[in-house]
Structure 1
Amino acid sequence: MKLTTGWLKPPSTSKGIDHLGTQAPCGMIYGQLLPGITNVTDRARYYSFYPWLVWSYDQRYSKDDPAHFVERFRRADCLFTLIAERHSQVDDQDDERHGIAMVGRNKLVTALTRLKAVGVLLLSQYATTDTKEDRYFVNRLGGLSQYYAGTLANLMIMQSSTTSWTRYSTEYGSLLAQDFETNVAGTLFWEKVESDEITLADLDELSGFCACNIPSCPAECQHLTDIFFDVKVRYGDEGEQRRRSLALIQQLASALPDGEDLSEEVFRACTYTGVLPGGLPWTIPPTLQSTCALWVVYVRNDLLSVAFQTILSICLTELQPRTSDERGRFGSIEAFADWFVGSEKMDEVLNELEYETFSDLVEHASVLGPALADWGDMGHEIQLGKQLIADWRGGAEVPLLLARSLELLAMLVARDDLTKQPYSGLVITADSLRDYPINLVSFRHRAADWQTMSVGQVASDLMLWCMNTHLRVALRKLRQSGRSTFQLHPSELGVEVACVHVPAPTQTTPRFRQAVRILRDLGLLTREGGRTRLTDPGRRLMEVASV
């Protein structure tokens, strides 16, 4: 028998994200609170444009040439973005209303500049699927396949497809497409797609396609509003939760005092504490209070994640050798943790905290720490989480970073309501958390053990927990994707850091900005004097959605 052997190719490396898996539960939470909106579905008009594009193609061409469909689709996708960007420049130069987050925008802004210079532009130059510098998007079906397809399928607007061809649904997609058709110059649009040539005058004539124009198209606007707010109760629990979260955002926009703007930072703080900027209580309708309570769980999990990410980054920083002689100086992660706890840096941490035991630190947070409502206080967990990210980026010293992380964790322990399950009200089970060892449930159990430990022992346990969890998470990613995301690894020389740049702690992005942009696209929010406020239609819908 002839045997052939070969070398195993080492796995490719990747920077990776969420090296501890602490952000995954956050994603589970906001995925349940804002279903139908994702971190890449930024504009409401794509929810109607894409079904219209496929529907109107079917009215004009046969359905037996996938290559023709892909080519025309890509040209149309480019043209849609160019129209929005041009409309911004000739209307009010407000990118947020027009061109922001349109598919392929970064590349097509340059194309528009070129069009101004030469007078005529070929859509195919940017719609090409070849590897060229001008190509607007890699995915064959552009922003639809890359960003919107799954969401539109879940909302029953489009049909799921694994081929280059895609279909609209006869239930909702065709109706939405026909609503769209009644308010745009569809024939001219397709003439320009077919001819391949466009001018600035063409873009101006097609300005009705701009993403800002939903409110001026009553049927389309009503249809999209019905979908996002599930007015006709088509989407079950998901539709109800999306409606409540959108109404909660509207409630906050309505309640904010003069001079305050609606932002993700303000939304986090106000939902977590129930207090508006300036200290006034936020009166939330009873029907939205349970949804707000679930956003509290999200913020709590995200703060936990920031603290643990910071501790992992501290470990990686301290493990990096300063000289070649220091390489592999720790034979194990346990040896590293023992060394750090006995180092001068740990003494600095203790001096900063002024408490020897973790239970004392928690008691201080509970009795002498800022009240939940006082979220502007620098000792509040909202500010501690924000400051950890800023301090890391600003190059703060390790002792300060570790002390602030411990303070943040102590605040979370002090605020923990032991009468409730950490993920109460959410569909998050023990099985769904199995691959993410650091979560609100495991944190509660671990924190109970820390009550009898010194701050140094807790710091050691935190470091070991972070490093062991990272190795487990990275190993799982390697098994699933074949890519190595290890930031540290054991070697024959000892524990070594694998990353060149230590990852910085970050917050998750809970689809808030996308939700606000969609509400603005629908004419339910507006920007006035640099602030986001409710419109009259938005207020009427908010009142109905809050009942």
Structure 2
Amino acid sequence: MKLTTSWLKPPYASGGIDHLGTQAPCVMIYGQLLPGITNVTDRARYYSFYPWLVWSYDQRYAKNDYNHFVERFRRADCLLTLIAEQHAQVTDHSNERHGVAMVGRTKLVPSLASLKTGEPLRLSLYATTEETPQRYFMNRLGGLSQYYAGTLADLQLMESSGRSWSFYSSQYGAPLAQSVDASVPGERFWQVVENDLVTLEELDELSGFCACNVAGSLREHQQLTDIFFDTGNRYSEEGTQRRRSLGLIQQLAEALPNGWDLTEDVFRACVYSVTLPNGAAWEIPAALRSTQAHWAVYVRNDLMSVAFQTILAICLQELQPQSAAQRRVFHSVEMFADWFAGSATVAGVLSNLGAGSFGDLVASSRANAPALTDWTNDAHEIQLGWQLIGGWQPGVDIAPLLSHSLSLLAMLVTRDDPGQQPYSGLAITYEALRDYPINLISFRSRGADWMTMSLEHVVTDLVVWCLDTHLRVALRKLRQSNRSTFHLRPSERGLEVVGDQVPPPSQTTPRFRQAVQILRDLGMLARDDSHMTRLTASGRTQMEVASV
């Protein structure tokens, strides 16, 4: 019998993210509520610039040399970023309006210093596909392939060719590209791309390409507005959800009291509590109330996730001895959970909470916790979540973190409405949650089981649930991607922590910052005299349309 053997490649060790899978439902939710905007599509100008760039290339060159296309594309990608940064430096120095999140900015911005000394800048030095210290991006089609391609395809603005070539769509991409072409010095742009060398004067000549000028390009602006707010109902339910979420953000910008800026933290707190920072009720138009309720579910899931991530971090720190003499041997997750729940630290925490059972803790929370509307109160679940994130650091005293985690979970049980499905109105099925054992549905069920259990036994169950779930999630990632994201593993020497870094608790990023930036680029949000983000006149008009 002939046998063939080969070496098995070891898995690639990776820090990974979402070690409990608790953030996955959050990603599902904000993906439904803000489709067409992602965590890497930051600027409205790229939604129109990339279709224009390919369309404009077609007007000048034969499309038969892919390497030629890639070279010009990369130079153009670099040039746009340089234009935006130069425009910031010669106008108001506001990165928020001009250069923020432009592709390759980290590598390209320092090069402007040499231009100011009179030295010309060669675009190809940064646009090269060779691995050099100056290369602005590894991906051959730069920011398009890395960030925008999928989104632009979903929005029917660009298509992918079987020849590894990117194309604009004739129905929507070409008209948008033509609108851009009517408002920018396209010929001059391509002359600079061809010449390769660029000067400060040329960057100033091309300032019309800066992202801040989208609002002044009337046809382009209207088409982008039609896309983001789906004024023609082109994108069906996805377009409706995006329009309503953008309208909700605009409503909050309009409603915020003096002294409060439109930040992600404020958005989270307000959609969760339906209350403004000054304690006043946030009056939301009827058409947007279901959208607000969906965002509240997102925040609720994220708060639950932060509490469970904190429990995981606490467990890993306790399992990670500072010296060999301090090492305890636990041959199973259950053995560690029993030891931890019976430790003096946990006993002190449970004593301070003053509740014999989890049901007692929930009853105390129902009687004494701040009102849902009182989200600026330090004891509110919104604040507890931020305290868990901000309070974590290696070697931290775990007692207050464990106390806050238990209080936060009890408060979420208190706020739960058993008459509503946890993900009511959202397209999240049991099948979609199969690989994510800790979610709002399972948490409701587990919370019901905990009601008659002592807090010590609840801590034991929490620890087992967290550690078992981490092992399950990491094993699934290993099977699917050959990446090892284990932070804990069973061994002949008992449970061992993998790596030196305990993953800290963190929130998900729900595309809010990108949505606000896009609204800025469209001229619908702007800084007022006190530097707070507020609605503009055009933004108010669009908000009213989105709110009916």
Distance 1:3 1:326, change over 3 A: farther
Contact preservation (8 Å) 1:327, 1:496: no
Correspondence 1:345 to 2:345: yes
Q: Which residue in 2 is equivalent to 1:400?
A: 400
Give, in angstroms, the shift of residue 394 of structure 1: 8.2
Correspondence 1:291 to 2:284: no
Distance 1:515 1:252, change over 3 A: same
Give, in angstroms, the shift of residue 2 of structure 1: 4.1
Output the CA distance in 2 between the equivalents of 1:242 and 1:328: 52
Greater CA drift, 448-457 or 110-119: 110-119
Greater CA drift, 164-173 or 37-46: 164-173
Distance 1:277 1:164, change over 3 A: same
Q: Which residue in 2 is equivalent to 1:460?
A: 460
Output the CA distance in 1 between the equivalents of 2:500 and 2:525: 44
Secondary structure of 1:458's counterpart equals helix
Report 1:430-509 matches (<5 A): 430-509=430-509
Output the CA distance in 2 between the equivalents of 1:228 and 1:32: 14
Q: Which residue in 2 is equivalent to 1:236?
A: 236
Output the CA distance in 1 between the equivalents of 2:361 and 2:218: 58
Output the CA distance in 2 between the equivalents of 1:208 and 1:328: 65
Report 1:55-74 matches (<5 A): 55-74=55-74
Output the CA distance in 2 between the equivalents of 1:114 and 1:144: 27
Q: Which residue in 2 is equivalent to 1:152?
A: 152
Secondary structure of 1:316's counterpart equals helix
Deviation sequence 1:304-362 (CA, Å, 0-9, x none) = 00000000000100001232244461111111011111111111111231112100100
Greater CA drift, 395-404 or 440-449: 395-404
Output the CA distance in 2 between the equivalents of 1:493 and 1:9: 25
Output the CA distance in 2 between the equivalents of 1:114 and 1:153: 38
Output the CA distance in 2 between the equivalents of 1:115 and 1:479: 50
Greater CA drift, 350-359 or 471-480: 350-359
Q: Letter of the aligned partner of 2:430 in structure 1?
A: A
Secondary structure of 2:374's counterpart equals coil
Greater CA drift, 335-344 or 385-394: 385-394
Contact preservation (8 Å) 1:69, 1:165: no
Output the CA distance in 2 between the equivalents of 1:314 and 1:348: 15
Q: Structure 2: where are the runs of 5+ without partners?
A: none
Output the CA distance in 2 between the equivalents of 1:90 and 1:444: 56
Give, in angstroms, the shift of residue 5 of structure 1: 2.6
Contact preservation (8 Å) 1:328, 1:496: no
Deviation sequence 1:380-436 (CA, Å, 0-9, x none) = 100000011111138641111111100000000000000000000000000100011
Q: Which residue in 1 is equivalent to 2:310?
A: 310
Output the CA distance in 2 between the equivalents of 1:537 and 1:353: 52
Secondary structure of 1:45's counterpart equals helix
Output the CA distance in 2 between the equivalents of 1:488 and 1:396: 19
Contact preservation (8 Å) 2:317, 2:395: no
Distance 1:162 1:490, change over 3 A: farther
Q: Which residue in 1 is equivalent to 2:540?
A: 539
Q: Which residue in 1 is equivalent to 2:371?
A: 371
Output the CA distance in 2 between the equivalents of 1:391 and 1:30: 26
Give, in angstroms, the shift of residue 112 of structure 1: 1.6
Deviation sequence 1:19-61 (CA, Å, 0-9, x none) = 0010110000000000000000000000000000000000000
Output the CA distance in 1 between the equivalents of 2:395 and 2:43: 37
Output the CA distance in 2 between the equivalents of 1:163 and 1:400: 58
Q: Letter of the aligned partner of 2:76 in structure 1?
A: A
Q: Which residue in 1 is equivalent to 2:522?
A: 522
Contact preservation (8 Å) 2:122, 2:197: yes
Correspondence 1:362 to 2:362: yes
Q: Letter of the aligned partner of 2:526 in structure 1?
A: T
Secondary structure of 1:393's counterpart equals coil
Q: Letter of the aligned partner of 1:543 in structure 2?
A: E
Output the CA distance in 2 between the equivalents of 1:86 and 1:395: 45
Count of matched residue positions in the alignment of Structure 1 and Structure 2: 547
Q: Which residue in 1 is equivalent to 2:88?
A: 88
TM-score (norm 1): 0.99
Q: Percent identity?
A: 65
